[in-house]
Amino acid sequence: MPRHRATLILPILLCACQQASQQDVAAPVQNGQAPSGLERAAIESGVIVDAGRISPVGLYQRRHEAGRDLLCVVADGPNKFRMGAEVEFGEGQTCKGRGTARRAGDKLILRFPRAQCTIVATYEGDRVALPGVVDVHCADLCQNRASMEGVAFPRLAYDEKAALAARDRDGDMLCQ
C-alpha cells in the first residue's frame, strides 16, 4: 500500500513544482521573452553571463585556417556605437565595412551605410554572432564569394583602446 501512495504523490509534487516555477518573481524581459527560471538562476549564480549588463565596446576576433574575422566596437554616445568589421575567407575572399551599432536587448543592430546593409546580430557578452542569412545589400561589402552570413566573433578585449587599435589586413584602422 505505501508504494501505491508514492506513485500517486510523485505526479502531484511534479505538478506543484511546475506551477511554482511558473509563478516565479518577475524577470527582466528581453525581446518580448522573460528568461526561464533556470536561466535566471544561472545568471544570478554567475554560471552564465548577463549580457544585458556588459557593454559591447571592445575587440572581437577569431583566427582560422582561411584568415581572420575581426570586429571592433567603440562608444559614440548613449547606446550608440561605431564599429568596423572584416571577415576573411582566404585570398581575395573578404568582406569589410564600417558603420554604427545600436544595442537592443541581447541584439546588436549593425548598420553599414556604404552598402545600405543592416544586420541584427546576437550579442552574448563574450561573443557577437551574425545570423545565417543577412540583408541582400550586405553582399556589396564582400568580394567574390565571401559573405558575412553566420560569422561569429568571440571577444578578445573589453576595452575601447584595443578596439581603436584594430587594423584590417591592409593595415588601415578599422574603428577610426
| Contact criterion met (CB below 8 Å) for 59 and 76 | no
pLDDT tens per residue across span 120-171: 999 999 999 999 999 999 999 999 989 999 999 999 999 999 999 999 989 9
Range of the domain at 12: 2-22+33-48
Domain count across the chain: 2
Mean pLDDT of 108-113: 96
pLDDT of 20: 42
Q: What is the pTM of this model?
A: 0.73
Q: How far apart are CA 5 and CA 82, in angstroms?
A: 64
* Shared domain check, 158 and 71: yes
Question: Do 99 and 59 lie in a common domain?
Answer: yes
Q: Same structural domain for residues 75 and 108? A: yes
Average pLDDT score over the chain = 82
Cell of 139: 553582399
Spatial separation of the C-alpha atoms in residues 32 and 9, rounded to whole Å: 36
